[in-house]
Amino acid sequence: MNMLSSGTAAAAVGEESWRYRGWVVVLASMIALMFGPSTVAVLSLGLFIKPLEADFGWNRTQIALASSIVSYTVMLISPIQGYLTDRFGARAIIIPCIPLFCVAIGLMYFMPPVPWIYYAAWVALPAIGIGIFPLSYLRVVSSWFDKRLGLAIGIANAGIGIGGAVIPLVIGTVVVQQGWRAGFVGLAVLVALTLPIAFFFIREKPGTEPRKGKAQSVPGVDFKEAARSRQFKLLVGIFMLLGIINTALIVHQIPMLIDAGVTPQRAAMVQATFGIFVIVGRLLTGLLIDYISAALVMCVLALGGTIACVLYAYGVTGDVVFLCAALLGMVLGAEFDVLSYLLKRYFGMRSFGKLYGVIFAVFQFGAGAGAAFLPIMRQASGSYRTGLLSFSAATLVCALLLIMLHLCGRIGQAQAHPHHSSI
């Protein structure tokens, strides 16, 4: 019998115990996310920029355009992923997508020096991997937890940060020793490792998966009703602003620091600090939001992002750059812990996929815009300062919206449950 097939046995041990079967799902999801498209097709792109530049003779702007292409492709497919997970269940799309995505990454070995083929490949990769972006795994994890929902989401989501740290070490060595083509084959091997893990350990908690392709069989709020709520509209605004600063600061942090006089070696250390605090942010946020308002936790972190952007805008150097990287890493680490947590708390599991997919699409739209905005402002003004000050304003507005969301949640819950505390 499959270890996750018995709903009665799963309920025999509470989620506060590490023997609860949901924790197996959490760990499996974390490993799967380490080598999913978020790391392989997004965070790993930087490993291939210089080798492609040298091999194909393309300039850095041409190569890095793939980042915006991926962002907008993900923006388009996220609502589709949400619809599929709500209708058929996450497992039904995770299992076939892993081998397809593995083959697609491996085929990058044959990439010719033809720009349109290169760009088409970066459209195809996220589209083929549609079922294995974080939404699918977070839906599975969320179905298993209530009291420890935040911690469970935080541990699972930490896989992206761990993958972002591990993949450059492993694949970066392959690229240096064997070339960029071998690097893509190495990525395909890492993706393939997740298939048996997903097959044996990843499935929704019995009773929470859609039956006969009907999302209505799952408890929760209907999508149209949820989309009309004030909470959902505030979440859309918040994640649009978070998306604007997200990809831009990941992609441009090292060149931004070098422009400010930081050595390339020190800039790489700052970037590593950023990656470490993405992981810290995911785990710490997941732990905190089980006890403290998720909106307020995210508000504090957004204000930290405001401070970091202002400091970077004025060319901060010295050890303060590590503080800035840590603050920004915490913001990035917290974002989707908070989103997953609040969506289940506000709306339940019935429309979790569609709601997450729409907000993630908005986030990716902001990411693509921000990634283009920052270098454009640098070219227009001669420095990153104007763009970074704009980002600091965006994070400040985001913090204000989060306060509104917290108050909105308190009012809504007070009306429904006068004697309960707010989320």
Write down the pTM of the prediction. 0.83
Instruction: List alpha helices for 260-351, DSSP H.
Output: 264-288, 294-313, 320-347
Buried b (16+ CB within 10 A) or exposed e, 199-225: eebbbbbbebbbeeeebeebebbebee
Cα–Cα distance, 320 to 316 (Å, whole number): 7
Per-residue pLDDT of the chain in tens (423 residues, 90 and over written 9): 344 444 444 445 788 888 899 999 999 999 999 999 988 887 788 788 888 988 999 887 788 888 878 888 988 999 999 999 999 999 999 999 999 999 999 999 999 999 999 999 999 999 999 999 999 999 999 999 998 999 999 999 999 888 887 888 888 889 989 999 999 999 999 999 999 999 999 999 988 877 755 555 677 899 999 999 999 999 999 999 999 887 788 777 777 787 778 777 787 788 788 888 988 999 999 999 999 999 999 999 999 999 999 998 887 777 888 999 899 999 988 999 999 999 999 999 889 999 999 999 999 888 878 877 888 888 888 888 899 999 999 999 999 999 999 998 654 443 344 333 344
Q: For the chain, list the domains and their CATH numbers.
A: 19-205 (1.20.1250.20), 222-412 (1.20.1250.20)
CA nearest to 68, candidates 246, 191, 240, 188: 246
283, 159 Cβ separation under 8 angstroms: no
Cα–Cα distance, 57 to 51 (Å, whole number): 10
User: Is the backbone of residue 362 left (phi > 0), alpha (psi -120 to 50) or beta?
Assistant: alpha
| 320-347 helix and 134-144 helix, angle to the nearest 10 degrees | 60
Cα–Cα distance, 264 to 271 (Å, whole number): 10
Half-sphere exposure of 270 (CA within 13 A, CB side): 30
In this structure, what token pair is assigned to residue 338? Answer: 């908070």
Cα–Cα distance, 224 to 81 (Å, whole number): 17
Return all residues near 284 (Cβ < 8 A) that are at least 6 apart: 154, 330, 333
